Amino acid sequence: MLKQQLQQKLQQKLSPAQIQVIKMLEVPTLELEERIRQELEENPALEEGAELDENGDDFDDDFGNEDGGNNDDFDPEEYMMDDDIPDYKLKTNNTSKDDKREDIPFSAGTTFHENLLDQLGLLELSEHHRALAEYVIGNIDEDGYLRRTAESMVDDIVFQAGINTTDSEMEEIITLIRQFDPPGIGATNLQECLLLQLKGKSNTEEQGLAIVMLKDYFEEFTKKHYDKIMKGLNIDDLMLKRIITEITRLNPKPGNAWGGNILEKSMGTIVPDFMLETEGRQLIVSLNNSNVPELRVNNTYNEMFQDYATNKKNHSREMKDAVMFVKQKIDAARWFIDAIKQRQETLLNTMTTIVQFQKEFFLEGDDTYLRPMILKDIADITGYDISTISRVSNSKYIQTEFGVFPVKYFFSESMTNDLGEEVSTREIKKILKDCIDNENKHKPLNDDALADVLKGKGYLIARRTVAKYREQLNIPVARLRKEI
């Protein structure tokens, strides 16, 4: 049985321009630069340079309303899709063969896996064994570990490359690769990695005992049950300390020992989004826009619009279609420019508010001056939505005279001390870390003792809360902090 119903709904939809602004807020400076370069390549109506006076508004209205047309018929998302190939990219390259073209060389170095393949190339192997070795090297991760068993690789290489082999033959290849540099390559776990490195050294007394310790007492070593180790090896404290010193000189991630690709290293560099300067007690926040170009709409396209608006009746249908395409590109360029402007304004206002809220910290550089601050505090002051503040603080960094800090660093919850004052959990964590740094490492403080220390300083915190803060600081339990 069919029946009809009337239903009222209230919906809020974001325009393409609003969506673009939201996306712009999330990206850090480096990604913004790349996004701008991409847009400059894809949209011929967008160019670098200061904005010029534009007189295309009247034309937009005339163009949209001609012949009963309506701008609403255009779907901006359609011509802003990534697969929209600009017209200029399809043109023939008419450069002469005599034109001089020079490519700037870029030295990227060699990667960790390329280094292993280079060492493999120095060996005289059959084509079959070389193919097996290349497959094994391809399964070694960036830390230098071979996380897969010989049996599993034997099965996979048959299906993937059609190469038949046996478990014993694969084991021989793995043993061969474990002789490569850096030492420890191809181990299946930490214990095996450390043993491979020790076996490659000259066999001193400490190294010999270290090998026995790692073979027979590895679990006790990782859990720092030193009494069991000394009793089992029949050694004193001094020799145990020398053995542990020998082991700590080894590299638990031999793959990281390789210098690697220069480009990969540079990608890990933090580029601050904000710069903070101090003049007396005045704090000045600025955006790091050194590589962000000014943008404008290409004036040639605006002049084309003016010409079309003046002589619409003298143009063909083909000309109208061409101008309609250009209009879409100009709209996209204007949206993009507006999104950049709104991003810069929102970021600057938000960061300025954060700096003023945490002014004492930025003047002194001490975590104990950090005030409790949550997203809502900044949202209430700026008038922005909490989600906007979250996007601004995500993946952004600020350069101060005390170093580079992630913006998220300045947000923390509050607790009340014994005087009834609100203090930041960041302040408590700093005091907790100082207590652990200054403890007697032969008798480290457990969580109950740390709670008592904090209580003596005026912070009434339960043991489980101390444990939570300690874990957030990536500090192990007392037993694992013990030194001999």
Mark whether 131 and 60 lie in a shared domain.
no
Mark whether 202 and 69 lie in a shared domain.
no
Mark whether 171 and 205 lie in a shared domain.
no
Mark whether 370 and 476 lie in a shared domain.
yes
Mean pLDDT of 275-298: 86
Pick from 66-75, 335-344, 347-356: least confident: 66-75
Angle at CA of residue 394, ends 392 and 397, nearest 5°? 85
What's the pTM?
A: 0.51
257 — pLDDT class (breaks 50, 70, 90): low
430 — pLDDT class (breaks 50, 70, 90): confident
Mark whether 244 and 208 lie in a shared domain.
yes
Mark whether 354 and 470 lie in a shared domain.
yes
Mark whether 54 and 170 lie in a shared domain.
no
Residue 4 located in a structural domain: no
The residue range of the domain holding 159 is 112-177
Mark whether 24 and 152 lie in a shared domain.
no
Q: How many domains does the chain have?
A: 4
Residue 103 located in a structural domain: no
Residue 446 located in a structural domain: yes
Q: Is 359 exposed, middle or buried (0-12, 13-18, 19+ CB in 10 A)?
A: middle
Angle at CA of residue 330, ends 327 and 333, nearest 5°? 155
Residue 96 located in a structural domain: no
Does position 103 have pLDDT exceeding 50, yes or no?
no
What pLDDT was estimated at residue 332?
A: 83
Residue 228 located in a structural domain: yes
Q: If you write DSSP's letter for every residue of 329-382 in order, what string do you get?
A: HHHHHHHHHHHHHHHHHHHHHHHHHHHHHTHHHHHH--GGGPPPB-HHHHHHHH
Residue 420 located in a structural domain: yes
Residue 472 located in a structural domain: yes
Percent of the chain with pLDDT over 70: 76
Residue 106 tokens, joined? 């870029």
Residue 91 located in a structural domain: no
Does position 248 have pLDDT exceeding 80, yes or no?
yes
Angle at CA of residue 337, ends 331 and 338, nearest 5°? 90
pLDDT digits (tens, 9 = 90+) for 163-213: 888 888 989 989 998 888 888 888 889 888 888 888 877 678 888 888 888
Mark whether 358 and 477 lie in a shared domain.
yes
How far apart are alpha carbons 129 and 135 in whole angstroms?
10
Mark whether 244 and 360 lie in a shared domain.
no
Mark whether 317 and 453 lie in a shared domain.
no
Mark whether 166 and 236 lie in a shared domain.
no
Of 121, 152, 177, which marks where a domain is finished?
177
pLDDT digits (tens, 9 = 90+) for 310-347: 666 556 677 777 777 777 888 888 888 888 888 899 99
